[in-house]
Structure 1
Amino acid sequence: MRFLQIESASGLLLLFFALAAFMLSNSPWAQAFELAWNTQVGLQVGTLEFTRSFREWINDGLMTLFFFVVALELKRQLVFGALNTPRMAALSISAALGGMIIPALIYLVMQSGEPGENGWGTVMATDTAFVIGCLALLGTRIPKSLRVFMLSLAIIDDIGAILVVAIGYSSHIVWWPLMAATLGLMIIRAMAKLGFRSFSLFFLMGGLIWLAVDASGIHATVTGVILGLMTPARRWVAETAARETLSPVERLEFILHPWVGFFIMPLFAFANAGLPIVINDLDYSVALAVIASFVLGKPLGILLFSWLTERLHIGTRPPGLSWRLLTGGSLLAGIGFTMSLFIADMAFSESLIGSAKLGIFLASI
């Protein structure tokens, strides 16, 4: 429930900073605002130089922590929560897959052969904070079953989105850093088996793995997902010895989630939600494809795959989750916002990014 509460509260903060970015990008300070995010920040050791723009540090670095926390919550749900039985997990997973596949297909049909064709991954994501925040505004009229289902769906969507980034939008892969990253993951696994308990040591290793993955050409944020799913969900000590002790998953989520929800995600929105309105420069076919994919494709995919899952007796809806409620939730899942902005930054050329952002904003309203 703490995860739901933080996501609900942070959604309002996200909205505030997104609106602030939009206003500043259409103000007399627009050029200075954009220049600030493109300022190069980094370090140099001898001939080795590692620099990125301020925006890239947020998108590639801080967002790794976001995906780490999302993966921690998914691990917790798989072990203790709504996804700990195969039939319950099947519905959330299939609904999330439908909510990714159908929008992507609609987008590809509408943009086939067009300059914006590569942006199909943009329409696959769901913004967890905004969706949970919208449900929170409805209060007790919304049953817990819908909140938990939508949380699970959004988390799986986010994991799917980062896999899309890793597979579909990574540059040419360099294998030796990837092998070094794999070795680092094996070392972390061995450290956990041997009884190492220092989070600082694990975070140091995680940082080195992040550098290796980044050097390999795969988007470095995938590191957060892998490390989150590798984190032990069981307590390090016996329950009889310390009943109040939290598992590593619970402890890390308790520490990091407020920072992610109230600092990293609003900062990401502030850095990426700027959209200068220049009517003549917009490609409305891209914006319309994004809108159609979110508004029509998302609910259609979620409902269709959920119905098929039940029809084939693979999964089942939790008690209290009617088709009417599921339809309402599937419409909310069309709010892609932060995750869609994250993918759009990699998927679209400079000339089309504004059109994609316009579509994302309008579809999320």
Structure 2
Amino acid sequence: MSARQTTISNLLGPFQRFFKVEAASGILLLICTAIAMIMANSSASDFYARAVNWELSVQVGNVFKLSKPLLLWVNDGLMAIFFFVVGLEIKREVLVGELASFRQAALPILAAIGGMVIPASLFIALHGNHPGAEGWGIPMATDIAFSLGILSLLGKRVPLALKVFLAAFAIVDDMGAVVVIAAFYSESVGWDNLLIAGALFVMLALAIRAGMRNGEVFLVVAGFIWYFVLKSGLHPTIAGVALAFIVPAQRSIKLSVFNRVTRSSLNKFEATDSEENMLLRKDQLEALDNLEVYYRKVHSPLQYLEHKMHGFTSYLVMPVFALANAGVLLSAAAGEPVIGTLSVNIAIALVLGKVLGILVFAWIGIKLKITDLPAGTNWKHMAGLGLLGGIGFTMSMFISSLAYQDAGLLNHAKIGILIGSLVAGVLGYLILRYTLKPAIGTDNTSEEA
């Protein structure tokens, strides 16, 4: 392999690993969704309802007690961790990724804005002031795991630039979701608790800026910040994103220093006459300690945390979220339809609103000559990608759980999300399947494996 090929491989490697994790996570999410729906509509429905509403308490003597149903521990706790990882991804993309330069960032940003504004506007126009109007934010969301999972089914025929665009678009879309949740789907603000959270946040940020790199301290203070943001009435996922933004991206040492120290330490382990000894020498033990210290220092904390936590959120947090939230009842009370007007309007806004918003705003950006289409793509591919953006699923369900307190409206919303996401996913797959050219030297079977 040439030096140029090695460099390209090193640059693309993290993204390709990210893509594979998200694709596999999408399959797991689908399985968990099916399990939740089967349980909610079978003889296990009572068990399912008791499980998600099971009261779980964390108590420290008589000083502190926090009690919530399991469903809220998932939506307020685990989802805060998910949004922390989203925040890490956003910061990385802004610093060194697809959002690092204006021309690179313009297309996914414009597409994401269109993919939020048009679906929300379409829902408002369709639904008017009927019950459930407060759910206008539901069709704005995109589920990155499901959308990348469907894209992965197309195999090698998908240009890498198209995958990068979809990932960058979904990350910007997540940024929009954070703003919408903070501004429109949080309770009235308790300023005393918010001020405490703000003071702790500033102290933590200053300590990190001064060189503090203690993970245990960060975790404890972050836990208190999460608690006070929760008590303030703002949704605690906001705390997750904010904390991610203060995680340092710079390494503690230069690569040249790391190379010098590791070479010096490894030299202690060169073959000697006593290499068969069971125990290491004192200088070898010291060398191992050095390697461990400098291994931590050469890591970017931002990159390290994202790498370590991405699998946790993809394979545990989001599947558990799906299990807890996707138990949609496919039956209705006497005289009420299973699929209501709210369901239909959400589905239309997800399918039609997303693709129109993404295409129109991307077209405007290209006509203004501030950006370009991804390499190797055309408008048919963008239409297919726009439809994949209409897979709201877990993110839309999350917003619906914040928008509706009424169980009937929430169930109708979830049915609309499932229908809209299914239709958008199937149509997006079919359009891309028949407009993308098969990779040279591969057959259809190998591509779709």
| 1:355–1:59 Cα change, 3 Å | same
TM-score (normalised: structure 2):
0.79
Q: Which structure 1 residue ranges, 5 or more long, are not aligned?
A: none
Task: Determine the C-alpha separation between the residues in 2 that align with 1:289 and 1:263.
Answer: 31
Name the SS of the counterpart of 2:303 in structure 1.
helix
1:296 matches 2:352: yes
Partner of 2:97 in structure 1? 81
Q: Please, which of 419, 436, 443 is the counterpart of residue 362 of structure 1? A: 419
**1:123-157 deviations in Å (ceiling 9; x for gaps):** 11000000111111101110000100000111111
Q: Please, which of 27, 38, 49 is the counterpart of residue 23 of structure 1? A: 38
Task: Determine the C-alpha separation between the residues in 1 that align with 2:55 and 2:350.
Answer: 34
Task: Determine the C-alpha separation between the residues in 1 that align with 2:243 and 2:206.
Answer: 13
**2:161 and 2:374 in contact (8 A); partners too:** yes
Task: Determine the C-alpha separation between the residues in 1 that align with 2:374 and 2:122.
Answer: 29
Q: Please, which of 342, 348, 353 is the counterpart of residue 286 of structure 1? A: 342
**1:282 and 1:352 in contact (8 A); partners too:** no
CA apart distance, 1:83: 1.5
Partner of 1:277 in structure 2? 330
Q: Which amino acid aligns with 1:14?
A: L
Task: Determine the C-alpha separation between the residues in 1 that align with 2:130 and 2:339.
Answer: 11
1:314 matches 2:367: no
Q: Which amino acid aligns with 1:112?
A: G
Q: Which amino acid aligns with 1:209?
A: I
The structure that has the greater radius of gyration is 2
**1:58-95 deviations in Å (ceiling 9; x for gaps):** 11001111111111112111112122111111111111
- What is the correspondence of 1:115-154 to structure 2 with a 5 Å cutoff? 115-154=131-170
Name the SS of the counterpart of 1:240 in structure 2.
helix
RMSD of aligned residue pairs (Cα, Å):
1.4
**Could you list the runs of 4 or more consecutive aligned residues of structure 1 that deviate by over 3 angstroms after TM superposition?**
none
1:168 matches 2:192: no
**1:37-59 deviations in Å (ceiling 9; x for gaps):** 10110133426431000010011
CA apart distance, 1:317: 2.7
Q: Please, which of 192, 204, 214 is the counterpart of residue 208 of structure 2? A: 192
Task: Determine the C-alpha separation between the residues in 1 that align with 2:399 and 2:306.
Answer: 24
**1:64 and 1:224 in contact (8 A); partners too:** yes
Task: Determine the C-alpha separation between the residues in 2 that align with 1:187 and 1:241.
Answer: 31
Q: Please, which of 252, 257, 266 is the counterpart of residue 310 of structure 2? A: 257
1:155 matches 2:171: yes
| 1:123–1:56 Cα change, 3 Å | same
| Higher normalized contact order (CA 8 Å, seq sep 6+, divided by chain length) | 1
**1:179-229 deviations in Å (ceiling 9; x for gaps):** 111111211211111111111211111111101111110000111111112
Partner of 2:19 in structure 1? 4
Name the SS of the counterpart of 2:407 in structure 1.
coil
Q: Which amino acid aligns with 1:203?
A: L
Percentage of identical aligned residues: 39
Q: Which amino acid aligns with 2:234?
A: I
Task: Determine the C-alpha separation between the residues in 2 that align with 1:4 and 1:157.
Answer: 17
TM-score (normalised: structure 1):
0.97
- What is the correspondence of 1:228-243 to structure 2 with a 5 Å cutoff? 228-242=244-258
Q: Please, which of 407, 425, 438 is the counterpart of residue 350 of structure 1? A: 407
**2:339 and 2:416 in contact (8 A); partners too:** no
Partner of 2:199 in structure 1? 183
Q: Which amino acid aligns with 1:294?
A: L
Partner of 2:116 in structure 1? 100
Task: Determine the C-alpha separation between the residues in 2 that align with 1:49 and 1:171.
Answer: 21
**1:88 and 1:317 in contact (8 A); partners too:** no
